[in-house]
A and B are shown apart, each in its own frame.
Chain A
Amino acid sequence: MSQVLSTARVGRLYQQTIPQLGVGLLYNPALELYLDACPGICDYVEIIPDMFWTDRGNNTPQRFEEIESWMKVLDKIAAQYPLTSHNISYSLGSAGIFDKAYLQKMKEWHERYRFKWHSDHLSFVKVHNEEQEEHNAGLAVPVPYDYEVLDMIGGRINAIKRSISTPFLVENNVYFIDLPEQELSETAFLNELSRDTSCGLLLDIHNVYTNAVNHHFDAKAFIAQLELDKVIEIHIAGGNEMAGMYTDSHAGPCPPEVWELLDYTLPLVPNLCGITFEFHESYFHLLQFDGVTRELNRAKAAWNLYHT
């Protein structure tokens, strides 16, 4: 696959312009050899910054201990590909203190790696007790779609945007529990959040598919309810069954339904700047190099229908 960097084409998010990059990969350790062996195989690489350091905890001196061997790989990738950042530790939905030290670390990384955009999830992973001691929830836990939470998350996104000028996106949730008596739907929540903060949307199509399977709704109707001109990035992935539900495990190739949803969505998202394929390294055996290339080529063919 050739590397097509559409430098002349840009997506628009409120007052910002963003380069339309093409098809990217979410980095995991199984991809180091692949990216070495297939230079230019994708148009950008998305990284989870938290993978590259050990976080020794809030209020610890020299809190973020970068892991040397991982940083060497990152610097090699950064020399070859545009980078985007997919965060997990802004923890936008945490009701406790917002982690300003993490924000400062990310500001430094934006200066170092010039990410084209960055993102986090509509959920929380950091939990606090009444003394504001923090621990990790163990998974991304969905927030209730209430106005109180909307205001809180909006405040965090505004704090991020004041510190880092790079476009910021929020990803729709995958959720297994269904909280009753919510004041807003997820789509209404995301739309209002975008209007309130000028953030973009990261539409994870596999998350939509997962939720549609588990909670029995129409995935296309969900997508249609979003303000699709705010969608800057799309995630595609695979999953598998666990304990009677379909999970967002990033287990190998995308199922046919995800490709169908991608084909449905692409004509509706004029400002889309990237489609990112995600898989977990523990499922690399299901893909191998050829399988990763197949997924990228399939996504690239879809992208090219609207971006060449």
Chain B
Amino acid sequence: MSLLSFQKALTDLIASPQLCLQLRNDAAAVLSRYDLTGREQRRLQTVVYQQGMSVSCTLYRVNRITPIYTMLPYTCFLLGGQLMPVIEAFWAIDNRSDLQFKREINIFGEFLLQKLLSREIVNPYLREIVVMELAMNELKFLPRESLMETGDDETSLHPLVRLVPFDHPPEPLLTALAGMKLPEREEDTGEYWLMLDHREEELSFRALPHKNGAAAVAGL
């Protein structure tokens, strides 16, 4: 049990600079949570003062933010200065990182959508962009070739197509975000759809004029 508990304690420390500080300030309180030998306790009490622990904490954060930053780039851009506080809040709840891009971004995306719903985060474009980037990633991970063979059901949307509802005209918004800018002025809100289509090798995008138009393409 001891080595198992030591590894848990060490990785808890690497995941939390705050816990490192707590251990510095009140070692007994932190160490009592684990089943450790005296030597293991001394090891942990030593490493929390080492520069290498700061580097390890930073590397943990870099490694864990990489999937989010890679797969949800416009979402991260829109969050701007809120990004790190939001991610810290996410990590405080979900510390079960498995470094699997697909799972990590899906759970973070759902977390953001909840925050938007509860108005803890307010951003006019964020909801539609989060939903779009989650849909893009979902399509990228699908077995495209087998779905191309089996997915031809005329009564429903093709499994390699997604329709994402937008509150703003998608084209000007996505054009601005492609240059890592916000639109110069906020367009009037309305009901729009963006169609994501991965039936070709490259994922393609098409803005539909408004939600009613979606019915016409739903059987694609």
A242 interfacial contact with B, CB 8 Å = yes
- What is the number of residues of chain B that contact chain A, defined by CB distance less than 8 Å? 44
B22 interfacial contact with A, CB 8 Å = no
Q: Are A178 and B50 in contact (CB under 8 A)?
A: yes
Distance A56 CA – B98 CA, assembled complex (angstroms): 9
Q: Are B55 and A176 in contact (CB under 8 A)?
A: yes
Asked whether A127 and B52 contact (CB < 8 A) given A135-B96, A136-B99, A138-B64, the answer is no
Q: Which of B4, B14, B50, B103 contacts A138 (CB 8 A)?
A: B14
Distance A65 CA – B141 CA, assembled complex (angstroms): 9
Per DSSP, are chain A's interface residues mostly helix, strand or loop, or mixed? mixed
Distance A62 CA – B14 CA, assembled complex (angstroms): 31
Distance A180 CA – B4 CA, assembled complex (angstroms): 18
Q: Are A95 and B4 in contact (CB under 8 A)?
A: yes
A94 interfacial contact with B, CB 8 Å = yes
Distance A136 CA – B142 CA, assembled complex (angstroms): 24
Instruction: Select the stretch in B39-47, B75-83, B174-182 that faces chain A.
Output: B39-47
Q: Are A68 and B145 in contact (CB under 8 A)?
A: yes
Distance A263 CA – B54 CA, assembled complex (angstroms): 33
- What is the number of residues of chain A that contact chain B, defined by CB distance less than 8 Å? 41
Distance A56 CA – B101 CA, assembled complex (angstroms): 11
Distance A257 CA – B20 CA, assembled complex (angstroms): 34
Chain B residue, CB-CB nearest to A129 = B8
13 new A-B contacts, CB < 8 A, other than A137-B14, A245-B51, are A68-B143, A94-B7, A135-B96, A136-B97, A138-B14, A138-B59, A138-B60, A152-B3, A176-B53, A177-B47, A178-B47, A180-B43, A242-B55
Which A-B residue pairs are the 10 nearest by beta carbons?
A176-B52, A138-B60, A95-B3, A177-B52, A95-B4, A177-B47, A135-B96, A137-B11, A176-B55, A136-B98
Mark A residues whose CB is within 8 Å of B. 54-57, 65, 67-69, 94-96, 124-125, 127-130, 134-139, 141, 144, 148-149, 152, 175-181, 214, 242-245, 247
28 residue pairs from A and B, CB less than 8 Å apart: A54-B100, A54-B102, A54-B141, A55-B98, A68-B143, A68-B145, A95-B7, A124-B7, A127-B11, A128-B8, A135-B97, A136-B98, A137-B14, A137-B60, A138-B11, A138-B15, A138-B64, A141-B7, A149-B3, A176-B52, A176-B53, A177-B52, A178-B46, A179-B47, A180-B42, A243-B51, A244-B51, A245-B51
